[in-house]
Amino acid sequence: MKKITTLLFAGLLSVTAIMSCSSDDNKNSATSQPENLDPVAVVKTNNTKIYMHYMPWFETKESSTNNQWGYHWTMANKNPDNVDANGKREIASHYYPLIGPYHSGDKEVIENHLLLMKYAGIDGVLIDWYGTYNLNDYRINRDNAEALIDMLDKVGLEYAIVYEDRFLTNIVDAGLSPTVISAAKTDFSYMQNNYFNDANYIKVDGKPLLLNFGPITLATPADWTNAFSVFSAKPTFLTLWYESGDAGANASGEYAWVYQDNTHISNFYANKLPTLPVAMGSAYPGFNDFYAQGGGGEAIGWTIDHNNGATLDETLAMAQNANLKYLQLITWNDFGEGTMFEPTIEFGYSYIEKVKAFAGVQSAPVAFSEISRLYNLRKQHKNNSGIQAKLNRAFDYFVSMQPDKAVALLNEIE
């Protein structure tokens, strides 16, 4: 009898414990909330929209179809397979990327670039775009651009296209299109169908933003009117500075670029900015092309010294004084012309630190080196799925502006 009573008592305790645990679980599930890992915007005080001009044209031996380094690392006479005592590859540039030469379609490279931009207060990317045709490296550039676009939404950045109409004659000469107008129509139809309706495609005055590096081939308003006939609604269209007359009423305005010295920007702000419905300014760290040294053609003929960051300071100050709505940074990664904001061995993170200060970034301070540590760990543990899962979580923390949690995960791995 005593044994039975003991068993009954033990059973009642078990039921009570189970009910208590169940009650606690219900209470916890009712009060706990899942982590929000969606992209969160950087908080900043500068209302100017800051966009980065981006080249998607870099290829490595591993990424190319012919097992050769891409032209933009080699030009005519440089060989990245030659490595010096410090581990630097021979590339066609006066400057060297901090992460080394890379493939523009590499997911880890894109992740690194976009996170650095986000934490610098950059709002979006203006992608240098050669069109849709499978000629030379145009299709590869498009594929790389679309790998970039795929991650932009995950990071929480916008994008727009900078169209290169100069290559349309190559399409006709190769027999791929009967006229330059028809070739442009094919490209514009592709843009409209694949990019313009994206939620994070940049809109100005309610219309998709489209820039053109020119015009060069489509040289008359009639050409642009004909080519734009494929659009259901015309985009907000900006030409290169002083070139909008070539597009006529199709142009909504112009954007500044880089030329000879900083006085050209000041002249644009003083004389053109007040006359344009839409205008986009420019800022850059310098200009120092490698064409002559790399056998890639004649040197441009002028340079703008980086001057230990003073050139960038001046062009950003000019943008600030002009009270711009839109500013284009020239460029993230044109290593051949030496205009890169991307961190380099020579300049470190100093240029994006200056952009961060210009933007007035207020939220979630984090060292840019921590973002690069994510990239390095990606490469170091590329075949370890468990560590990659942790790094995916760190990425989510970075984009949702929880960098402390991201760094804690990185510390666990190292």
Q: What average pLDDT does this structure show over 387-411?
A: 96
49-362 carries CATH number 3.20.20.80:
yes
Cα separation values, 130 from 33, 144, 145, 183, Å? 46, 11, 10, 11
Per-residue model confidence (pLDDT) at position 364: 64
Buried residues in 376-412 as b, exposed as e (16+ CB within 10 A): ebbeeeeeeeebeebbeebbbbbbbbbbebbbebbee
Say which DSSP state 18 is in.
H
Whether residue 8 is predicted with pLDDT greater than 60 in this model: the reply is: no
Amino acid 6: pLDDT: 39
Report the distance separating Cα 104 and Cα 130, nearest Å.
15
69 burial via Cβ count (<10 Å: 0-12, 13-18, 19+): buried
Distance CA 152, CA 145 (A): 11
- Angle 157-359-199 from CA coordinates, rounded to 5°: 20
Give residue limits of the domains in the chain.
Answer: 49-362, 367-414
Q: How many CB atoms lie within 10 A of CB 1?
A: 5
Closest C-alpha among 200, 350, 199, 198 to residue 286: 350
Helix, strand and coil percent figures for the chain, each rounded to 5:
45, 15, 45
The answer for 307, left when phi > 0, alpha when psi is -120 to 50, beta otherwise, is: left
Q: Is the pLDDT of residue 362 over 90?
A: no
Q: Which has the minimum average pLDDT: 5-19, 80-94, 324-338, 361-375?
A: 5-19
Higher pLDDT pick, 129 / 18? 129
Question: Can you tell me the distance from the alpha carbon of 249 to that of 252, in angstroms, rounded to the nearest whole number?
Answer: 7
**Is the confidence at residue 275, as pLDDT, over 60?**
yes
C-alpha 253 chain-centroid distance: 23
Q: How many CB atoms neighbour CB 291 within 10 A? A: 16
Average pLDDT over residues 223-250: 97
Report whether pLDDT(17) > 80: no
Rg of the Cα trace of the chain? 26
| C-beta separation of 243 from 215 below 8 A | yes
Q: Is the pLDDT of residue 3 over 70?
A: no
Torsions phi, psi of 339, nearest 5? -110, 20
Q: Are the beta carbons of 95 and 344 closer than 8 angstroms?
A: yes
pLDDT digits 0-9 by tens, 107-163: 999 999 999 999 999 999 999 999 999 999 999 999 999 999 999 999 999 999 999
Question: Which pTM does this prediction carry?
Answer: 0.91
Closest CA to 115 of 379, 391, 375: 375
